[in-house]
Amino acid sequence: MKDLKDFYKDSWDDMTKYHKSDALEFSLDVWGWWRRLKAKKLKGVMDRSRAYWRKKRQRQRVVRMLRLQRKFEKAMRAVKENANV
């Protein structure tokens, strides 16, 4: 068994060698988990954004169609009135 004096003789490598590989795996795992979490959040934001803009484009398309329809009906009324005169 090691004595306290033996611990003072140990180099930094001796003190950290048992944990080095575990620490690296753990840090990579935490980094991977963090990246996955951020990617998931970003994907959620992008999906909501995509849905928002898709809905907005659809609404604009409907509004444009209604405007054209009103313009067309107005023109047809004018043609009918001119034909009746």
Mean pLDDT of 75-81: 93
In a domain, 36, yes or no: yes
Residues 10-61: tens digit of each pLDDT:
666 665 555 555 556 666 677 778 888 888 888 888 889 999 999 999 999 9
In a domain, 3, yes or no: no
For the cut 90, the answer to whether the pLDDT of residue 71 exceeds it is yes
In a domain, 47, yes or no: yes
- The rounded distance, in Å, linking the Cα atoms of 33 and 41 is 12
- The rounded distance, in Å, linking the Cα atoms of 52 and 49 is 5
- Our count of domains for the chain comes to 1
Helix (H) or strand (E) holding 69: helix 12-84
At 9, is the secondary structure helix, strand, or coil?
helix
Opening angle at CA 67, ends 76 and 59, nearest 5: 150
In a domain, 62, yes or no: yes
pLDDT of the residue at 2:
61
In a domain, 73, yes or no: yes
In a domain, 50, yes or no: yes
In a domain, 1, yes or no: no
For the cut 70, the answer to whether the pLDDT of residue 7 exceeds it is no
Q: Encoding tokens for residue 62?
A: 């409907």
Q: Which domain holds residue 77?
A: 17-84
